[in-house]
Structure 1
């Protein structure tokens, strides 16, 4: 592959991966959490534990970290390829995606771990978990969606520079 083709593939991969993550977080915001919220405490806690166990897999890990790494690589390639405008948008996307990772590490994962260790009092576990987890997820959704928009702009600028 040529340098320009490699840059294009990396930028597209970063964009697709970030879009998938934004979509996953958004799905939790608009359907999973509201749906679970309609159930009783035991169902809520059991379902969230099952979701947390199911999502802890290699494919999710590859996407979760791979999108971040691809975004950083894409920004670097744009910079080195003489596309500073596209690179700036790539670095913005990298920072925004990094914010979603930080929120995951500092808010959502610790809450998931607390929920996994919670005792038999499902109402107390749900109270400690629900609002904070949902707020953290909303930040992740917004950060990944903004990163996706930034990558879209980087793609546009990359395409214009390649066509020139």
Structure 2
């Protein structure tokens, strides 16, 4: 059972870390780089990125992070790892909030942007960008902070878990 505790916690840490890194990369490079692009380049680039990110590897890590964290927490129950469990629970909630934010804010904005320039969709690139960019960037910062905080919680949980191992 200790192997499962340890492996699931490492899996949670790695997958949450990957997601924190993805959100951070958007915050410090992708979106600042696109800030200076013209409206057509901005919209087309974000449409292309949003299409490309919808793949099995992304979803495996995106949802796997919550799954690994949940399994990690469940394996701590009854194992005398109360301190570890609290930090894992905090990481679970924080990462869960990034999923809620993604589903409630970022994905709907991505979906709206996907229709720009398509038959029957809006054609005003400047208006589409204005409706997307500021809100998407702001909420991506929330996701970055939440995933980074979850990563920190899980890191501390691993430290505590390692200290209590026989």
* TM over 0.5, shorter chain: yes
Structure 1's unaligned 5+ residue stretches are: none
Q: Distance in 1 between the 2:54 and 2:139 partners?
A: 18
Offset at 1:6? Answer: 1.2
Offset at 1:76? Answer: 1.2
Compute the TM-score of the two structures, normalised by the length of structure 1: 0.96
Q: Distance in 1 between the 2:75 and 2:156 partners?
A: 15
Answering whether residue 130 of structure 2 is matched by residue 127 of structure 1, we say yes
Q: What is residue 158 of structure 1 aligned with on the other side? A: 161
Aligned length: 161
1:149 alignment partner, one of 152, 158, 161: 152
Q: What is residue 104 of structure 2 aligned with on the other side? A: 106
Offset at 1:116? Answer: 0.6
Matches within 5 A, 1:43-122: 43-118=41-116, 119-122=122-125
- Structure number with the higher helix fraction is 1
Q: What is residue 18 of structure 2 aligned with on the other side? A: 20
Answering whether residue 14 of structure 2 is matched by residue 33 of structure 1, we say no
- Aligned-residue Cα RMSD (Å) equals 0.7
Offset at 1:74? Answer: 0.5
Q: What is residue 137 of structure 1 aligned with on the other side? A: 140
Offset at 1:84? Answer: 0.8
